[in-house]
A and B are shown apart, each in its own frame.
Chain A
Amino acid sequence: MSADDVRLVKRCQRDDPEAIRELVERYQGEVLGLCVRLLGDRHEAEDVAQEVFVRVFRSLHRWDSTRPLRPWIMTIAVNRCRTFLARRRKRPEVREDLGNVPARSGGDGDGELLREIRQALEEVRPEYRIAFVLFHEQGRPYEFIAQALSRPVGTIKTWMHRCRQAVLERLKRRGMISEVGHELP
């Protein structure tokens, strides 16, 4: 817990606009970054990140000031993205095929692999995708992911295993990995 965060939150609860701006600026990079990684679309990520901040300020009175603020905010962000992904999954017809989007890293092997992985993640359950992105792309520990998704660490590891399997299957189908390889356990 940071005493600075506690002071800032108290000012926010008094509706101090400068404090609200300060809190947004302090966490916007991480929140928007997570939303971009999880949703894969900048415009959707900006909309969801804005909603995350509105909800953070609505719930500030429930934040336990003896605990750090950052994971609490990131948990709200993870949950908003999860809800959004679940809704988006129900209407896949409006999704642009990410497999046709050029890789950001250019035409090198990494760019192609990243594009294939992101396309594979579009096809798995939102929980698998979130676990994968938080772990591999955001470098979050399993304990954080388990807390954010309200599941035991063991469950998160199982989801991660299944997600990697799904990604690997796609890469094999696309000829990016040899078919002769063993399955992951």
Chain B
Amino acid sequence: MNCHDFARKLETYLDGGSELRPALADHAGQCPSCREQLAWADRLLALPFAEPVTIHPEWTEQVVQAVLRDRRLRRRRRWAMTLAAAACLLLALLAQPLLRGTGQPQTEPGPLVAENQPSAPKPEPPPPPLPDLTLGSALRFGPTSLEATRNFASEAARQASSLTAAAPPIRPAPRRVDPVPDPMADLGRNASEGLEPVVRSTRRAFDAWLDLLPMPTEEKPGL
């Protein structure tokens, strides 16, 4: 073995090739500089690295509490976001006729209106195309349902913002929400069915977003 072979085999020895030790020692016995290398390798392998780590019960308790807190927080965030998404979608569905009404000839009310508001008086006679058609269209939905939706949406937004106030800005969701078919085509029948996949997609997207989040704010910052 020459010095070059020695250096190569010394690396294998350090990687766990203890069977090479006699051959290395053989060369080291005749070569002072290689003897130094072997001595260093032996010391490295024999160093008392693995000192046991003592664990304090308070630390264990702190970890368990942090895990429980994180799980609670994630459940609440997921719930708030689902609520907000559902409210936004409902608002979008209800706002559609308002947008449609502007500048277009009046059409018959959709089935939802007929089903949900059987006692609501139809505008009689059909109103002429006036600049305030938007308002007229809104009234056909009835002030009660509009008001309830507005309250629902603002409450959901308030909960979502308070729960996620400490969180970093939301990154774009990795999944796009499925496109919603024209709800006015058969609004009454499709409304609940249409909401379900959107809420599910939003929930999935939100779960993915949660995985990217840093630790909850109650924990020490900077990690």
Contact = CB atoms under 8 A, between A and B. Distances in A.
Interface of A: 15, 17, 20-21, 24-25, 28-29, 32-33, 36-37, 46-51, 53-54, 57-59, 84, 104-105, 110, 113-114, 117, 135-139, 142, 157, 160-161, 164, 168, 171, 177-178, 180-185
Contacts of B53: 29, 32-33, 36
A182 B44 contact: no
B51 interface: yes
A58 B210 CA distance: 9
Contacts of A58: 70, 74, 210-211
B133 to A, nearest CB: 51
A58 B78 CA distance: 13
Given A51-B223, A57-B70, A113-B43, A24 B36 contact: no
Q: Which of A59, A135, A185 has the largest number of chain B CB atoms within 10 A?
A: A185
A185 B10 CA distance: 8
B62 A50 contact: yes
Given A28-B55, A50-B66, A161-B11, 7 more contacts: A21-B64, A46-B59, A51-B219, A113-B43, A136-B47, A180-B32, A182-B33
A50 B44 CA distance: 31
Interface of B, helix, strand, loop or mixed by DSSP: helix
B93 interface: no
Interface residues of B, number: 44
Interface of B: 3-4, 6-8, 10-11, 14-15, 32-34, 36-37, 40, 43-45, 47-53, 55, 59-60, 62-64, 66-68, 70-71, 74, 210-211, 215-216, 219-220, 223
Contact of A181 (B14, B37, B48, B68): B37
A29 B55 contact: yes
A36 B44 CA distance: 19
Given A117-B47, A157-B15, A20 B68 contact: yes
A135 to B, nearest CB: 8
B70 A104 contact: no
A178 B33 contact: yes
Contact of A178 (B4, B14, B36, B50): B36
Contacts of A50: 59, 62-63, 66, 219
B50 A138 contact: yes
Contact of B67 (A20, A29, A59, A164): A20
Contacts of B60: 21, 24-25, 28
A160 to B, nearest CB: 7
Contacts of B36: 177-178, 180-181
